Amino acid sequence: MATADVTYHSVLHDAQQLMPEEQARLIDELERKLAAPHEPPSVTDKMAILDQIHERLHQSGYRRRTPEEVVAYIEEERNSWNNE
List pLDDT tens digits, range 38-79: 778 788 888 999 999 999 999 999 888 999 999 999 999 999
Domain residue ranges of the chain, discontinuous segments joined by +: 3-35, 43-83
3-state secondary structure of 54: helix
User: What is the pLDDT at residue 11?
Assistant: 65
Q: What is the CA radius of gyration of the chain?
A: 26
Q: Is the pTM of this model over 0.75?
A: no
* N-terminal to C-terminal alpha carbon distance within the chain: 61
Could you list the beta-strand ranges (E) of the chain: none
| CA dihedral sign of residues 8, 12, 14, 15 | positive
Q: CA 79, 84, 65 angle in degrees (round to 5)?
A: 35
